[in-house]
Amino acid sequence: MSELRLPPIQPYSPTTFLERGVAVPLTTPLLFGSRARPALRGNVELVLPNPAGGRGVYVLAAESVREFCRPTVHDRQLILRIIALPAITPVAIRRLALEVAAEGMAGEEAMDAALARMAASKNELLVANYTLLMALIAQADGSGADTILEASTQDLKHRAQKAVARIAPRIGKPAAWVANSLEALAEILHHIGVNARVSGARVRRLIGSLSEVRTEIAVWSRGAGDDELASCAEMVCDVADVTMSLATTTFDAAHALTADPAGLLRTWATDPDMVTRLVGRPEWLLDGWDQICLLWREATNSTARRAALAEITQLLPVLPREANDWIGSSLDSEKLARLRRVIPLNENWRTGAIAFELLARNERLRALGV
């Protein structure tokens, strides 16, 4: 008789953010809330919230997802591209998700939103590049922001060439390297904004959005008159608070780099990975919360909010142990697991006729999310 050798059941307590995986905006109801992470031999795994609504997660090979359910065309395309990624990061997944949405795989609304987002991103990139260059000019010739604002295009061009020519030898790199590096830095920095241009940056917007949603959940649960619900909401708010605090700290640290463009270029020349890691930290921390914020905002009455809270407790990003080390305490994961049952979800809620409604909802979230 053959013996089926299955891997032993393990608790889901990721040590690192990469092990937690990156949230993937999939639209198939059974895959909603999935995270992608690298697996052995260059494979990719999907970590799914327990479909029965209880504790624990399902882990499956991304390439075998069709053995688990029938993913939408959008999800098939997105998963295929994720499998081909050299490195799984929130930025990389977001870029792929944007591409697939822009092809129309998640519906017309998501397609329009994705195309608009792509155009806006190009502008943000240009602005970040320009702002970095201006900061470099100001630093190199010791001029204030006023002189830059008042300068003509010709004058700026001339001053930029001089600034690059002055900085390049100090870093030990040619002038062309400085120009290319400013472009590369703009690419990774435009998510957090450069200098004073932070309020519109994606990460800043997300922290603001999370803060608003956290307040709304707290206020709503206080008036809901249900102790268990309040306890559930409190847990969501606790995790949101820790996440926001860490995201703000890491955001400030990353953003501080842009105050000294010459120093930033110097670090970039010697250790570009360090800069990428530092700038990427807030994204890793906030990863998955955009979906949570959208779920909450979609819910416009108490009934819908109870349902949203039930889904949110399923999706709540588990903070990896490395984050616990940062804050010097640990969150009660057992409590979180218990609370997942506070609002019991209907059996088959992701697979019955309601799945068609959920799929439409998930596509709507894609449109809003991009």
- The contact set with other proteins (CB under 8 A) reads 70-73, 76, 103-104, 107-109, 301-304, 306-307, 310-311, 343-347, 349, 352-354, 356-357, 359-360
Q: How far is the CB of 5 from other proteins (least distance, A)?
A: 31
Neighbouring residues of 29: CB distance < 8 A, sequence distance ≥ 6 = 350, 351, 355, 358, 359, 362
In the complex with other proteins, the residue whose CB is nearer, 326 or 349, is 349
Q: How far is the CB of 48 from other proteins (least distance, A)?
A: 17
CA dist 198 and 207 (Å) reads 12
The neighbouring-strand residues paired with 197 are: 194
In the complex with other proteins, the residue whose CB is nearer, 37 or 366, is 366
Angle, CA 331 vertex, CA 328 and CA 333 arms, to 5°: 145
Residue identified by tokens 């519906």 is 107
In the complex with other proteins, the residue whose CB is nearer, 19 or 109, is 109
CA dist 3 and 139 (Å) reads 69
Q: Judge whether 323 and 246 are in contact, CB under 8 Å.
A: yes
Residue 195 region, left (φ>0) first, then alpha (ψ -120 to 50), else beta? left
Q: How far is the CB of 102 from other proteins (least distance, A)?
A: 12
Q: How far is the CB of 272 from other proteins (least distance, A)?
A: 39
Q: How far is the CB of 78 from other proteins (least distance, A)?
A: 12
Angle, CA 26 vertex, CA 199 and CA 43 arms, to 5°: 105
Burial code of 29-51, b = ≥16 C-beta within 10 A, e = fewer?
bbbbbbbbbbeeeeebbbbbbeb
Q: How far is the CB of 66 from other proteins (least distance, A)?
A: 9
CA dist 179 and 341 (Å) reads 55
Q: How far is the CB of 101 from other proteins (least distance, A)?
A: 13
Q: How far is the CB of 107 from other proteins (least distance, A)?
A: 7
Q: Which two tokens stand for residue 367?
A: 């449109």
Q: Judge whether 23 and 35 are in contact, CB under 8 Å.
A: yes
Cβ neighbours around 273 below 10 Å, total: 7
In the complex with other proteins, the residue whose CB is nearer, 199 or 303, is 303
In the complex with other proteins, the residue whose CB is nearer, 27 or 258, is 27
Q: How far is the CB of 109 from other proteins (least distance, A)?
A: 8
The neighbouring-strand residues paired with 357 are: none
Residue 201 CA: distances (Å) to CA of 65, 142, 206, 207, 274: 34, 27, 9, 10, 21
In the complex with other proteins, the residue whose CB is nearer, 185 or 233, is 233
Q: Which two tokens stand for residue 220?
A: 């709503």
